[in-house]
Chain A
Amino acid sequence: MALDKPYLDVPGTTIFDAEQSRLGYHLNQFCMSLMKAENRARFKSDERAYLDEWPMTEEQKQAVLARDLNRCIAVGGNIYFLAKIGATDGKSFQQMAGSMTGMSEIQYRDMMIGGGRSIEGNRHIGEDGDAQAHRQPQGQQKVNS
């Protein structure tokens, strides 16, 4: 029987399910390693060499080097793990979340102060809300199935 995944039609959203977790295991465990101060220092001194110690795919390594969190998520990353990269870079959670939306840091902060992103048009793929791929500069990278 096919698994029930009713969340695949939520726009701009990748649910970290068992399949994504399987794809992202080494990427996420690399992120976990950054919870130790000495590992953060080693990563910062030579990112590529540190990444090469992990059995990650080249695509995963490139996504990390580019700090492209949408790509990291598409290849199995989970935001709570990826947040360790942001912490290593001295970024706040708001800066990290905002970086995935195609907005500037100020625009994103102002949106939150204004009450956040509206749900209208953002429930199902194919509506016309601001999180839909056709309304997003990076929307074409959206991988949802």
Chain B
Amino acid sequence: MSKARISASVYTSHVPAIGAALDLGKSSEPYWQKVFAGYEFSKQWLKENPPDVILLVFNDHATAFSLDMIPTFAIGTAASFTPADEGWGPRPVPVVQGHPELAAHIAQSVIQQDFDLTIVNKMDVDHGLTVPLSLMFGQPRQWPCPVIPFAVNVVQYPVPSGQRCFKLGQALRRAVESFDKPLNVQIWGTGGMSHQLQGPRAGLINKVFDNAFLDRLIADPAGQAAVPHIDYVREAGSEGIELVMWLIARGAMSDVTGGKAPEVLHRFYHVPASNTAVGHLILENPL
């Protein structure tokens, strides 16, 4: 029986203001056009290459997880996930349908590979998850495929290291590839790029750092995975640390364990969206 495979990885920032711009009908304003233009190719590509399931790596922003519990890695195994009220009211986007069967399989496989996932059977999802879906799918009545939310703590330090994230990606690929159904799975890594939302240094953007990160994520992900937290904090802002989540998706590509290099289908970078630099990549695994 043929197994599931990871066909491609998608990387994107998940700025909440992008969701607000769409929801409030501002997407044609010049300020936002410059952001959405970078996703035109991606929407078309996704229409032509629809996955069966998306494994979506994101971070919760003090929404589902308060300070009562702070899981480092959490996988959503529920049948559905409701868009959260983050204080402005819930985003008017469809309920996210999960894939409990694959999610449970991944949880078991990845825990057996020594990553201590928290299993979440009930969770509202915030902009970290819904904004990437909006950027890539636009505003459909229903999301076109199931999504497995994979939440990473990047709010309270210490967050997982780039190295650990990169290895987790490898474990996720092994988990997907051992699933006994021929599913086409995409893995998305979200968050970043450079931004700082707090303190007198708020508004920091570092285009040089961001573009070097994109170059190295593509060509030398193992090298990028070795970069310590402090480099992200100092160079890309306190919230720029979200970029470690991109290393999870990158670790799931087959070249990491000896396969062919992925094809770079799309690359986009723009400043600003609200407080943040927007970065976006699509990498496809060769067959």
Interface string of B254-282 (1 = CB under 8 A from A): 00000000000000000110110100000
User: Of A36, A73, A83, A86, which one neighbours B199 at CB under 8 angstroms?
Assistant: A73
**Given A112-B272, A117-B204, A123-B235; A14-B85 close (CB under 8 Å):** no
**Given A93-B197, A100-B199; A116-B277 close (CB under 8 Å):** yes
Binding site secondary structure of chain A? helix
User: Of A13, A87, A138, which one neighbours B198 at CB under 8 angstroms?
Assistant: A13
User: Of A10, A81, A112, which one neighbours B203 at CB under 8 angstroms?
Assistant: A112
B7-66 at interface with A (beta carbon < 8 Å) = 16-17, 20, 31, 61-63, 66
**Do B203 and A97 touch (CB < 8 A)?**
yes
Report which B residues bind A (CB closer than 8 A): 16-17, 20, 31, 61-63, 66-68, 84-89, 155-158, 194, 196-209, 228-230, 233-235, 238-239, 271-272, 274-275, 277
Q: A70 an interface residue at 8 Å Cβ cutoff?
A: yes
Q: How large is the interface on A (under 10, 10 to 19, 20 to 34, 35 or more residues)?
A: 35 or more
Quick one: closest A residue to B31, CB to CB? A113
CA distance A109 to B218 in the complex (A): 32
User: Of B88, B209, B230, B238, which one neighbours A119 at CB under 8 angstroms?
Assistant: B209
Quick one: closest B residue to A129, CB to CB? B201
Which residues on the B side are within 8 Å of A24 (C-beta)? 67
Which residues on the A side are within 8 Å of B156 (C-beta)? 16-18, 21, 78
**Do B199 and A80 touch (CB < 8 A)?**
no
CA distance A122 to B235 in the complex (A): 9
**Do A122 and B201 touch (CB < 8 A)?**
yes
Which residues on the A side are within 8 Å of B157 (C-beta)? 7, 15-18
Q: A69 an interface residue at 8 Å Cβ cutoff?
A: yes
**Do B274 and A12 touch (CB < 8 A)?**
no
**Do B17 and A34 touch (CB < 8 A)?**
no
**Do B235 and A108 touch (CB < 8 A)?**
no
**Do A112 and B87 touch (CB < 8 A)?**
no
- B167, chain A: closest CB distance, angstroms: 21
Give the number of residue pairs across the A-B interface with Cβ within 8 Å: 169
Quick one: closest B residue to A124, CB to CB? B234
- B204, chain A: closest CB distance, angstroms: 5
A71-101 at interface with B (beta carbon < 8 Å) = 73, 78-81, 83-84, 86-88, 92-94, 96-98, 100-101
Quick one: closest A residue to B199, CB to CB? A12
Binding site secondary structure of chain B? loop
- B268, chain A: closest CB distance, angstroms: 16
User: Of B201, B205, B239, which one neighbours A12 at CB under 8 angstroms?
Assistant: B201
Report which A residues bind B (CB closer than 8 A): 6-7, 10-18, 21, 24-25, 28-29, 31-32, 34-37, 40, 69-70, 73, 78-81, 83-84, 86-88, 92-94, 96-98, 100-102, 108, 111-113, 115-117, 119, 122-124, 131, 133, 136, 138-139, 142
- B125, chain A: closest CB distance, angstroms: 14
**Given A25-B67, A94-B274; A108-B207 close (CB under 8 Å):** no
**Do B203 and A111 touch (CB < 8 A)?**
yes
**Do B16 and A93 touch (CB < 8 A)?**
yes
Q: List 9 A-B contacts (CB under 8 A).
A: A11-B200, A12-B199, A16-B157, A93-B197, A94-B17, A98-B203, A111-B203, A116-B275, A119-B208
Other 19 A-B pairs with CB < 8 A, given A29-B67, A81-B62: A17-B156, A28-B62, A28-B66, A35-B63, A35-B86, A35-B87, A36-B85, A80-B62, A92-B17, A101-B200, A102-B200, A108-B202, A112-B274, A116-B194, A116-B271, A117-B201, A117-B202, A122-B201, A123-B234
Which residues on the B side are within 8 Å of A112 (C-beta)? 203, 205, 271-272, 274-275
- Give 5 nearest A-B pairs by CB, closest first: A116-B205, A87-B87, A12-B201, A12-B200, A131-B201
- B96, chain A: closest CB distance, angstroms: 18
**Do B200 and A131 touch (CB < 8 A)?**
yes
- A30, chain B: closest CB distance, angstroms: 11
